[in-house]
């Protein structure tokens, strides 16, 4: 047997049936379907999870990566010795790096700075050249992830941009693989398909096939973060990676990916960050499934929808990736506590027991003038500066870019942009953290401390009041 060649098998048994493949790219797909049992208490319908994190590269994006490279090779856009380039939050880049490595291509991946450290490490482990760029930029900005990737591909001899957001091979991969697998695995009994929407390729391709093969009987349910534009939100930032549609407040246009066919989705179920994070932590402890944040969003939506269905319904929810890529986030108790995604679990005194200033707004928008910022301070000495419009309600902590201090504005022109006078961001503590833990986190900073609950700013507390509450 020569290297890279699958061993011969009897005529009656294929190599695929024995799980023997000529290359890692051929091992993509045919992932298992697992019934959920403990998190479905009280639900009469059957709920199954499609475990896409068992693909070689660890995510559903392996399917699109292989299909896009196959199509580029066939068209001649990607030639031997070429370089695969993509802008991605991580998973597509990993899939591309896996397939590219097996075929002798170089890979350059541009990722936003909010991508998990684990994803970046995975990319580098596969030999990818990782370029990290600022994530909080409007799509028209030259340093936006996708624009940087496009520029790199154009400048490199032999460079090819995968362009997952608008590449028809992305949804096409799911139309010819994921959809048929689900139909076969459920023996045609699937009634509902639930998936998140990132580029839109997975839900569009899979959903299209299932609708066609079932004569329109299968319902396609989109799982979406509460503020995502796909389901009608205002596009504000959220914490779950690789899902939904964020719109930068300075965007000139709200551009939706061509990979997403909105006519395929029958309805959306929106899920708050807190519910998504609670779900991933619950799945690990009750089902033995370590899934990523977008998988938590999808499962939360599937469970909520399944509660309305009869016993003969068969719900399949797609799990895009593993929680191993987010151990420093959703599964890290310190991260969860700092952002207020935990709950009160003991009788210890916690931050919310202290005198928190809950006057609104909780922040100053980055496009405010000095005069506007002084009015918003309303007697306070400091407020966070956020990359969003100031609203009466909670502000997402992820949008905080710095702080504005009254003392730094007193001699400035009232028409000056407040961004000319921004100082370092204020410390953030969780509402349910013990006071002792919060004091330790805030350190020696004498400015106000931001208080967060479920990832959003709910007020602030003076450093003196916080320390006075320490035991």
Rounded to whole angstroms, the Cα distance separating 143 from 256 reads: 19
Within its chain, how far is the Cα of 430 from the centroid? Answer: 22
Q: Does the active-site annotation cover 61?
A: yes
Q: Which of 50, 61, 211, 329 is catalytic?
A: 61
Residue 166: count other Cβ atoms within 10 Å of its Cβ.
13
Q: Could you tell me which residues come within 8 angstroms of residue 115 by beta carbon, excluding any fewer than 6 positions away? A: 89, 90, 132, 135, 241
Rounded to whole angstroms, the Cα distance separating 191 from 306 reads: 11
- Is 300 buried (19+), middle (13-18) or exposed (0-12) by CB count in 10 A? buried
Nearest to 274 by CA among 316, 227, 307, 306: 227
Rounded to whole angstroms, the Cα distance separating 301 from 196 reads: 9
Strands 395-396 and 456-461: antiparallel
What are the C-alpha distances in Å from 290 to residues 43, 114, 287, 297, 328? Answer: 22, 21, 9, 13, 13
The token duo for 155 is 């400048």
What residues are labeled active site? 61
């Amino acid at each position: 047997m020569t290297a890279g060649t699958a061993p011969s098998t009897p005529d009656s048994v294929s190599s695929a049936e024995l799980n023997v493949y000529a290359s890692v790219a051929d091992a993509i797909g045919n992932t298992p379907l697992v019934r959920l049992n403990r998190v479905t208490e009280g639900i009469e319908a059957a709920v199954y999870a499609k475990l896409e994190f068992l693909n070689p590269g660890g995510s559903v994006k392996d399917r699109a990566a292989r299909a896009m490279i196959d199509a580029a090779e066939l068209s001649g856009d990607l030639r031997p010795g070429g370089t695969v380039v993509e802008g991605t939050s991580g998973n597509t880049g990993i899939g591309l790096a896996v397939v590219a490595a097996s075929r002798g291509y170089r890979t350059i991946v541009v990722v936003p700075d909010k991508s998990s450290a684990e994803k970046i490490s995975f990319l580098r482990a596969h030999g990818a050249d990782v370029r990290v760029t600022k994530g909080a930029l409007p799509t028209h900005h030259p340093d936006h992830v996708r624009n940087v990737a496009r520029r790199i591909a154009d400048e490199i001899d032999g460079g090819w941009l995968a362009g997952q957001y608008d590449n028809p091979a992305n949804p096409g991969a799911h139309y010819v693989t994921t959809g048929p697998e689900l139909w076969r695995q459920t023996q045609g009994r699937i009634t509902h398909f639930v998936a998140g929407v990132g580029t839109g390729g997975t839900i569009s391709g899979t959903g299209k096939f299932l609708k066609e093969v079932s004569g329109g009987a299968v319902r396609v349910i989109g799982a979406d973060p509460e503020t995502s534009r796909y389901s009608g939100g205002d596009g504000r930032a959220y914490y779950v990676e690789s899902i939904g549609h964020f719109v930068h407040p300075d965007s000139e246009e709200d551009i939706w990916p061509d990979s997403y066919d909105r006519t395929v989705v029958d309805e959306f179920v929106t899920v708050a960050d807190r519910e998504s994070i609670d779900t991933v932590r619950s799945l690990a402890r009750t089902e033995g499934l370590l899934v990523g944040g977008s998988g938590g969003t999808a499962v939360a939506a599937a469970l909520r929808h399944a509660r309305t269905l009869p016993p003969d319904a068969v719900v399949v929810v797609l799990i895009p990736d593993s929680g191993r890529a987010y151990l420093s986030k959703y599964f890290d108790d310190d991260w969860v506590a700092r952002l207020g995604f935990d709950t009160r679990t003991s009788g210890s005194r916690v931050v919310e027991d202290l005198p928190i200033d809950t006057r609104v707004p909780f922040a100053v928008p980055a496009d405010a003038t000095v005069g506007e910022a002084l009015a918003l301070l309303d007697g306070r000495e400091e407020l966070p500066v956020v990359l969003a419009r100031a609203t009466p309600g909670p502000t997402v902590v992820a949008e905080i870019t710095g702080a504005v201090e009254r003392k730094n504005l007193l001699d400035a022109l009232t028409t000056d942009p407040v961004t000319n006078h921004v100082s370092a961001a204020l410390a953030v503590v969780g509402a349910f953290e013990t006071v002792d833990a919060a004091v330790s986190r805030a350190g020696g900073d004498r400015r106000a401390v931001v208080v967060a609950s479920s990832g959003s700013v709910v007020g602030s507390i003076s450093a003196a009041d916080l320390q006075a509450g320490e035991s």
